[in-house]
Structure 1
Amino acid sequence: MTQRAGKAQPYTEALDGGWGWMIVFHFFLVNVFLMGMIKTFAIFFVVFQEKFESSSEQTAWIGSIMSSLRFSAGPLVAIISEITGEKTASILGVFLVSGGYLISSLATNIPFLCVTMGLLPGLGSALLYHTAAVLTTKYFKKRLALSTAIARSGMGLTFLIAPFTKVLIDLYDWTGITETVSQIISGWVADQNWIKRYHYHKSYLILCGITNLLAPLATTFPLLMTYIVFFAIFTGGYLAVLLPVLVDLSGNSRVHRFLGFAGFFAGMAVLSGPPIAGWLYDHTQTYTGSFYFSGICFLLSSVSLFFVPLAERWKNRA
């Protein structure tokens, strides 16, 4: 590899292997999950019909929009990819798909789901699928047909998604699924190193606190569902980054010790929290005080993380 002005020239030829196989694996997973998402809509179809008492025609529009946009949004995806690059376009696709599904948990009617589970995941699927395909062509030339065939073979594994989705719906309902998705997204975002991971942890704790402080305002069923969903999202977020933040702040050599301390204090909180909440209810005959107590605890727990920069400077000086 030649050098000019102290900088290495970019490698522009197709690799036909090496890191390219990771791109193929990415394309493979895109095929598994995106096609699985489309095929498992039949399971959600029945759930939505029962929940919203909608006709088959109305409900079918959700899946139709999602499936159609995966292909028809191709020109738009091409423009976005040329402006932002494949990596950014792919990340945008992830947020559209996951965000659409998360927001869908707040749905109260079929038109709402046409946007959150049809339009947004449809556009996200197009971004993910097209960018994955383009990246594969950039990394393979001689083995392009083979690599594409391997990636597309992921469609054959979509049969695994359907029973898994059915089990989740039967066990936890479709809103419990959002917390699981939230943890996965939170972990993925934290690993991108856009900012230090403890900032994510601090933010999620603050958001949990604010959500609980606002909980007494949820006096109707839709507002209560909104509280439940957002609290599940923020809770899943801080739980997902708890261990990575602990490793970042303590170092791998002492992680066992600090994890033990963290587990101890968490156990004390679990032990004392419900009795305190019950005591507050007994004396006030309302759960408002319990929500306020929980919200304040979340906010107080984030305070120490504001002193991390100060602690790091003190450590470096020492």
Structure 2
Amino acid sequence: WIVLCMGFLSNFLTWGVTFSVGVLYAEWVSYFGAPMGEVAFAGGIPVAVGCGLDITGPIYGILINKLQIRTCGIIGGVTMCLGLSVSYFARNVITLCITFGVIAGFGCGLASLASCSIINKYFLRQRTLAESVCGSGLSAGVFAMSAVQRYIISEYTWQGAMLIFGGICLNNTVIAMFFIPPQKLNISEVRPSKESNNEIGITSICNTDCLNLRILIFTELSFFKRSIGLYRNITFLRLITSHFLGWLCLFIPYVHLVERARLSGLDENTSAWVAATIGLAGFTGRPITGAFFNYAEVHPRIAYALIQILCGISVAVSPFWSNKIGLFMFAAAFGFLSNGYGLIKASAAVMLGCNKFVDAFSWMLMFEGLGVLLGPPMAGWFYDVTQSYDWGFRVAGIGLIISGLIL
């Protein structure tokens, strides 16, 4: 349980900083004076790289297999600290994309994968419970980081905030010291959950050691041969299309909502609390929706589709919620409903079978990173053309609805 707490704190620091980028984004827009679509790239790159987009996935796997989990967790914390701290010297968006985006994003992904890996080693029967606890660290981190970012920026500027958050994320090195693999694992403990017809049972069986998954799928030639068969499978095509559309649109409010609130007339401190509301609502919404669908024994595919459609509706109609109360209501609704990630993993396992889950999930990770990379700039470009966030959020909402309907 100490390892579980450390996993929660790791997600709190890594994803809490990267998903609360909306407050920093508002500062970057005014500081660099660049088009919003261009600045938004810097906000999306760290999450895209952390998701394992392109070549970073196998690199994470190689490092963890060669250097062990604890060492890689320490390296990830140091790298993220370095990327954030060096961002202090960024004088243009391109430099920020490299320091905050690539370097800090790589450290974030490595530290996160180390946390995921050690949790999978310790929790065999209760893996889904453990993953839920760790996953809630993201929402708690978004709430806390968004709440304090505005104060830090007002006192020390955004450059000083990067140094401070770099120091905070250096605590990942201390957290990683607790990532000591168990000496002996009783193989008899690895057996299907009693709740094998829902998300909990499926992820317990199919969400195997993710570091072995990363290295396996990218180093074996047979992976690409098997992938040919996957891309001929209409069910798989529906899954990756839905997943890509979901992440193309889902990350947009995380990046742009603070700036949208500021342009709607809210002061900077209040705008930052709009972002914090997303984190607080997500922290409460994740266990509530999970418990509801589990109790009702809803198929994960149906649960995911319902969550995506409701979330999409809230985003699509959000341009009508342009006042202070409306923006906070939207942030609460979006945060509460933006937790379908575990459901689509379970859906993939049910719809494709556990024997195809590893290969399918690897491709889903790639499209997830691609969606995160392209979504925020897309909304920024809509603003540059229309001088309004309305159409960017409408398109994002429609995309989320289509994502749910496809599946």
**Alignment TM-score, normalising by the size of structure 1:** 0.50
**Alignment TM-score, normalising by the size of structure 2:** 0.39
